[in-house]
Structure 1
Amino acid sequence: MERRAVDWWVGLFVLLGIGALVVLATRVGNLSGFAFSNGYTLSADFNNVGGLKVRSPVKLGGVTVGEVTRIRVDPKTFMALVTMRIDPQLRLPVDTGASIYTEGLLGEQFIALQPGGMPQDLKPGGTITMTQSAVNLDQLIGQMIFSKASGGK
């Protein structure tokens, strides 16, 4: 009887471990978010997208309102062209800005939208013109070290 109880607890522990791994895999794979399949698309040009990926979230005020659907290089401007799908109920002004941020120190990157104050709305397929590229942490650390080394009197 005692052996059966130990086997039952071990089995329960293994099932909980497998469940935790499934949750972790969906979080890392960005599969747990809501799919914005019926939203409208917007695009934005960035100098550097850093580690931004397809299916990365698009947030407004910390709330996920869309997702990145495509990242490519524009052959005319040589900038990264990011296409995103936005929740159909959300209408953004034409002077909306977009920035790429990192969630936490080592978290995933996402696009943060900052709506403007213009009365006209961006049309589906429109372009966000005011953008701020991703911050390269390695480059910032290198610049800081270089500036300390060169001005160290």
Structure 2
Amino acid sequence: MQHTRTQDTLVGLFVAAGIVALFFLSLQVSNIRSFMPADTYVITARFSNSGGLKVKSPVSVAGVRIGRVSNIYIDKETYESVVEMSIESKYDTLPDDTSATIYTAGLLGEQYINLDPGGSFDYLKNGGRIEITQSAIVLEEVIGRFLFQKAEE
């Protein structure tokens, strides 16, 4: 069987299409949506424990992703975890009494921040801070409490 130039070209195009497909699959798996950042504003929240929260973790309201975690660092004075969130500008009507909670998707899934809007008529602006927060639940602590509680009975 002889190889023709057409066959070689088709095989090359097939391999190139496979490489492009793997590239886009890796972007989806790593939570990277695009190369250009969308129009966003930044808000912060302080947690006593941010658990396994990571940069690029989703930020959602009522199950709808409205942004991502852009930075996590520790406050050297209060030893709290400070989480910066980039929120899409089209969601600029978050009340300033919104609360933030760190949840886990499923039993062992990734962690994300859920925002529960309050009832204030004033909105969070760029650089705003969420005052009402609930830290991540650490599975090991819950299991330890359960075991010690059962041991005392």
Q: If the TM-score is normalised by the length of the shorter chain, which range does it land in?
A: 0.7 to 0.9
Q: What's 2:43 paired with?
A: 42
Aligned 8 A contact 1:68 1:84 in 2: yes
Are residues 89 and 83 of structure 1, via their aligned partners in 2, closer, same or farther at CA, if it must alter by over 3 Å? same
CA offsets 1:86-120 (integer angstroms, 9 cap, x no match): 01011210100000000011111000000000101
Structure 2: segments with no counterpart, 5+ residues: 2-13
Q: What's 1:100 paired with?
A: 102
Are residues 34 and 48 of structure 1, via their aligned partners in 2, closer, same or farther at CA, if it must alter by over 3 Å? farther
TM-score (norm 2): 0.80
Deviation at 1:77, TM superposition (A): 1.2
Are residues 132 and 33 of structure 1, via their aligned partners in 2, closer, same or farther at CA, if it must alter by over 3 Å? farther
Deviation at 1:34, TM superposition (A): 9.5
Are residues 42 and 34 of structure 1, via their aligned partners in 2, closer, same or farther at CA, if it must alter by over 3 Å? farther
Aligned 8 A contact 1:54 1:68 in 2: yes
Q: What's 1:5 paired with?
A: none
Q: What's 1:74 paired with?
A: 75
Name the amino acid aligned to 2:112.
F
Name the amino acid aligned to 2:113.
I
2:151 and 2:37 map into 1 onto residues whose CA distance is: 49
Does 1:87 find its partner at 2:92? no
CA offsets 1:14-45 (integer angstroms, 9 cap, x no match): x98xx68973x445422258975420000000
Q: What's 1:58 paired with?
A: 59
1:105 and 1:21 map into 2 onto residues whose CA distance is: 29
Work out the percentage of aligned pairs sharing the same amino acid: 44
TM-score (norm 1): 0.80
Deviation at 1:53, TM superposition (A): 0.3
Query: RMSD value over aligned CA atoms?
Result: 2.3
Deviation at 1:123, TM superposition (A): 1.6
Are residues 119 and 145 of structure 1, via their aligned partners in 2, closer, same or farther at CA, if it must alter by over 3 Å? same
